[in-house]
Amino acid sequence: MTSHTDATTIRGERALTVGESDRLGFSEVAKRIATALVDHASDSGFVIGLDGQWGSGKSSLLALIAAELEQLPEESKPTLIRFQPWLIGHRDALLTNLFNQLVENIASVELARGDATSETKRRARKIAEKARTFAMSVSKAGDLVKAVPIGITAQVSGAVLNGLGKMLGKPEALEINKQKSALIASLRDLKHRFIVTVDDVDRLEPAEVVEVLRLVRSVADFPNIVYLLCYDSGILAESVRRGADVPDGAAFLEKIVQLTVMVPQPEPFQLRQWFGDEVLRITGGLPDVQLRRLRAVIDHEGGKRLQTPRAVVRSLDSLRFFWPALREEKVDVADLVWLLLIKDHAPKLYRWVESYLATAAVVSTGIGTVSETSKAMEIKTLKALVGENHFDDLAYRHSFAEQLPGVEIDYAKDGSGLKLFESVSDNDQSAAITGRRLASPDHYRLYLALIGPGHAITQQQLAGLWSAASETPIRTAKAIIPLGQQPISPELTKADLFLERLPNVEPETITETQATNLLIAFSDVMDMFDRPGSDHAFMLSTTWDRAEKAAQMLIDQIGIETREALLKTIFEDGRALGWLTHLLRRETFAHGRYGDQRRPEQDWILSEEEYDRIAEIMVVRYRALSISDLLAKSRPLNMLFAWAQAGDPDGPKGLLTRGVESDEGLISVLCAFITVTSSSDRGSYEVIARDNVKYFLDFDALVERVRQLNPDTWSGQDAANLRRVQAALKNRRSF
């Protein structure tokens, strides 16, 4: 059984060891190979290749073979020599290093067999010396030894020996054959098998590969020495072709390796089962709904990515690394696994997913769109990354589309297979946000960078806001205000994001207390979030619009017995008079009290009786305003019209008539009537529209008064305001 430590420990490239869970049945294969290696049917030296693609588990199988050999009885246990050529920097040191290891192990075998008497020690020393002398002689031969064709037997030719003697100038160099013969006889008499393992031969540079194979071949006929080489034959043959400059690396390899053992290829479902079981060990289990989605992810995306044991280990290690940081964020496990499978095995596709999610998040805020041309280009980019046939399987296409927002299946016969950046419904987006899914614009960066997106409301902020809403209106307001001070774009703040999401929250999850406190807080703070001046004129939706939609949902959560008192509190005491005016005017038109925009009753926020009471309250508040109070409010022009349309047209007229008695007052009042318009030839510009002014005052008389004023005789802000009003009145002629 796998322990908690096993489930959470990153494995890396470490080979499987005895006692660890063997999910692929390599242990039984290792036993059979070990038995064959110690079979003395042939005491001649030979070379065995352990062939498997990268990641297939060669190192683990080799480690298990070694472990099986170590467990054999002493009388049949061979000596293992783990030769690591990649740690040896110089070509000529390869042979010396190998024979040094051989010398040490030969001596150990002799001593272990004897009783450590002087005779035993002498015999061990003698055979070890033979091996050392031969190694020194051959290593001194340098390039002449290298010159012996690798396909020829290890016997060094007389011509080469003669050349070697002349080059070294030492008589003992001419005795290499004699030394070798003596060593062979001693190894045969020793009657003990040595197994030299060389892992990852195919990861060496081509020149290094040739040197290692040359070394193996030069001593391959030593009795009782077996070489077990691990490699991917395709990669190794290419390295031989390049390093030895031969036309056929595979044929060349056949001259060195006499026997090949293929690493067993596991069934694809075995790899997926292993991966899925470990995912559940790491994450601690999942609810049924998430478990079904996880199975689908592993079957479809895992079916493409989990092709080898190493692929399984790599993705499990990724999960082990990221999961502790994301566990507390309650991210969706199936989404995380899907993304990690792509990250580890298709990094270019991962970068595409990363870019797509970032763009989709911007689109979700309403501050960006993707044109049809851009959508088509994005499809082409995606297919260039994964290949034209990647999405041929319809089930896989569905699985892929489910993970990303705005991705839909294109069923058209001549279609592209997928549609990108399609509209996401409010319900789908709300579900993604609630589930903290990868498709959530508020949470996707948790999966990509372990942090939320810059525009997202943090979990701490959200939890704090809902906690405050469960207590008092004042605490709720204090939690909302910072959101309005954190921009997510030039046009929007986190308050906009909260208000945009709020109507999509499941109503039953909001208590009446929370709804009450949110509404009272809105009535106090919404004027803080209004855009300065008239910038809102060119915004499709403003913070006030979003708050209005949220308020409609929240008011519906209030019980009949408390609703009247709450509405009275909001409209009578709320300090956000501009936003409350926005609500009142919306209801004035919705009820058909003014204009011809009456809406169905189900679209009203207030009932008929409630509207009458609220209109009366608001008119009382308007009448209490001085002209300076009114002009200091958000959107004073909107307030003037709301006042008049609520049933008191004379009230604003009287206030404005008193307000324009002085020239300074006139300019201040007319500044409130400035609006922004635009045209294709001029762009945006300010105007004072006749229809807006004449509803309250004599427009032509005011224009004549302004015409007679000279801004050069005014100073400071008053002069700037006068020039602005004169320009706006002049612009009205082209409006």
What would the DSSP string read from start to end of 180-215? HHHHHHHHHHHT--EEEEE--GGGS-HHHHHHHHHH
Domain shared by 277 and 384, yes or no: no
CA 228, CA 231: separation in Å to the nearest integer? 10
Q: Is the pTM above the cut of 0.85?
A: no
Distance CA 710, CA 726 (A): 10
Give the tens place of pLDDT for each residue, 13-56.
555 554 555 666 788 888 888 888 887 555 677 888 888 888 77
**Three-state secondary-structure class, residue 532:** coil
Give the pLDDT confidence of 641-660 residue by residue, as tens digits. Answer: 999 999 999 999 999 999 99
pLDDT: is 316 or 59 the higher one?
316
Q: What is the pLDDT of residue 388?
A: 86
- Is residue 120 located within the same domain as residue 243? yes
Task: Residue 334: name the closest of 275, 252, 383 by CA.
Answer: 275
Under the banding of pLDDT at 50, 70 and 90, the label for residue 535 is low
d(CA 469, CA 479): 9
> What is residue 695's predicted lDDT score, i.e. its pLDDT?
93
Indicate the pairing of strand 194-198 with strand 79-82. Answer: parallel
Q: What's residue 87's pLDDT?
A: 67
Q: Which residue in 184, 195, 159 sits closest to 174, CA to CA?
A: 159
**Is the model more confident about 437 or about 121?**
437
- Asked if residue 338 and residue 274 are part of one domain, the reply reads yes
With residue 261 as reference, give the H or E element that holds it: strand 259-262
Question: Per-residue pLDDT for 101 more than 60?
Answer: yes
Write the single-letter amino acid at 717: Q
378: tokens are 């994005």
CB atoms within 10 A of CB 670: 24
Tokens 């246990």: give the residue: 77
| Residue range 203-244, pLDDT digits in tens | 888 888 888 888 787 766 788 888 888 888 889 999 989 988
Same domain, 387 and 427: yes
Structure tokens at 208: 């290094």
Which range, of 84-88, 319-323, 479-483, 552-556, averages the lowest pLDDT? 84-88
Specify whether the CB–CB gap between 461 and 483 falls below 8 A: yes
Instruction: For residue 79, list its beta bridge partners.
Output: 194
Quick one: pLDDT at residue 120?
55
For 539-571, the pLDDT digits (tens) are 668 899 999 999 999 999 999 999 999 999 999
Of the pLDDT bands very low, low, confident and very high (cuts 50, 70, 90), residue 286 is confident
Do residues 554 and 518 lie in contact, with contact meaning Cβ atoms separated by under 8 Å? yes
101 in a structural domain: yes
The phi and psi torsions of 175 (rounded to 5 degrees) equal -100, 15
Q: Rounded to whole angstroms, how far apart are CA atoms 256 and 259?
A: 9
Res. 164: pLDDT tops 80: no
Same domain, 230 and 270: no
Residue 240 resides in a domain: yes
Maximum mean pLDDT: which of 7-21, 108-122, 449-463, 601-615:
601-615
What amino acid is encoded at 173 in this protein? A
Residue 670, token pair as written in the block: 């007319």
C-alpha to C-alpha distance for 32 and 124, rounded to whole angstroms = 32
Residue 196 in this model has a pLDDT that exceeds 50:
yes
Instruction: Measure the CA–CA gap between 11 and 282, rounded to whole angstroms.
Output: 13
Helix (H, G, I), strand (E, B) or coil at 53: coil
Residue 677 pairs with which residues in a beta bridge?
A: 685
Q: How far is CA 351 from CA 84, 384, 398, in A?
A: 37, 13, 20
Same domain, 249 and 275: no
List, in sequence order, every beta strand (DSSP E) within 639-719: 674-679, 683-688
* Domain C-terminal end among 453, 471, 501: 453
Q: Which residues pair with 419 in a beta bridge?
A: 408
**Cα dihedral across residues 474, 475, 479, 480: positive or negative:** negative
Per-residue pLDDT, 591? 96
Cα–Cα–Cα angle for 260, 80, 263, rounded to 5 degrees: 30
Cα–Cα distance measured from residue 191 to residue 399, given in angstroms and rounded to the nearest whole number: 61
Q: Is residue 531 part of a domain?
A: no
Q: Residues 584-601: what's their mean pLDDT?
A: 94
CB atoms closer than 10 angstroms to residue 569? 15
Q: Which residues of 312-339 are buried (b: 16+ CB within 10 A; e: fewer)?
A: bbbbbbbbbebbeebeeeebbbbbbbbb
Rounded to whole angstroms, how far apart are CA atoms 194 and 222?
10
- Neighbouring CB atoms inside 10 A of 171's CB total 8
Range of the domain at 272: 266-296+305-345
| Residue 30, in any domain of the structure | yes
Answer whether residue 726 shows pLDDT above 50.
yes
Quick check: helix, strand or coil at residue 607?
Answer: coil
The verdict on 696 and 723 lying in the same domain is yes
CATH number at residue 235: 3.40.50
DSSP 216-236: HHHTTTSTTEEEEEEE-HHHH
Helices 577-590 and 512-525 pack at an angle, to 10 degrees, of 110
Residue 488 lies in a domain: no
Within a domain: 439: yes
Which of 420, 453, 486 is where one domain is finished? 453
Structure tokens at 723: 């020039």
Least confident interval from 195-199, 215-219, 394-398, 452-456: 452-456
DSSP string over 383-416: HHHH-TTTT-SHHHHHHHHHHSTT-EE---TTS-
Is 674 domain-assigned?
A: yes
| pLDDT attached to residue 40 | 59
Percentage with pLDDT > 90 across the chain:
45
140 and 44, same structural domain?
A: yes
User: What's the average model confidence in pLDDT over 513-521?
Assistant: 97
In this prediction, residue 198 carries a pLDDT of: 86
Same domain, 369 and 275: no
Asked whether residue 319 falls in the same domain as residue 379, the answer is: no
Judged by DSSP in three states, 727 sits in: helix
Residue 664 has pLDDT above 90, yes or no: yes
User: 324 CB contacts (<8 Å, ≥6 apart)?
Assistant: 8
Who wins on pLDDT, 105 or 351?
A: 351
How far apart (Å, rounded) are the C-alpha atoms in residues 642 and 584? 7
Q: Which of 115, 702, 712, 183 is nearest to 728 (CA)?
A: 702
Last residue of a domain, one of 434, 453, 472: 453
What pLDDT does 679 receive?
76
> How far is it, in rounded angstroms, from Cα 483 to Cα 493?
7
Q: What is the pLDDT of residue 394?
A: 92
Output the average pLDDT for the chain.
83
Is the pLDDT reported for residue 629 higher than 80?
Answer: yes
Q: Is position 158 within any domain? A: yes
Residues 6+ apart with CB under 8 A from 631: 659, 668, 669, 671, 672
Instruction: Please give the single-letter amino acid code of residue 548.
Output: E
CA dist 639 → 294, 470, 590, 602, 632 (Å): 55, 32, 17, 26, 11
Using the Cα atoms of residue 82, residue 84, residue 85 and residue 87 in order, give the sign of their dihedral: negative
Q: Reply yes or no on whether the pLDDT at 111 is more than 80.
A: no
**Residue bearing tokens 């006499």:** 258
Verify that 219 and 108 share a domain, yes or no: yes
Number of domains within the chain: 4
Residue 287 φ then ψ, to 5°? -60, 160
Angle at alpha carbon of residue 411, lines to 409 and 415, rounded to 5°? 95
Q: Are residues 328 and 358 in the same domain?
A: no
pLDDT-derived band of residue 3, with 50, 70 and 90 as boundaries? Answer: very low
Reduced DSSP (H G I as helix, E B as strand, rest coil) percent helix, strand, coil of the chain, to 5? 65, 5, 30
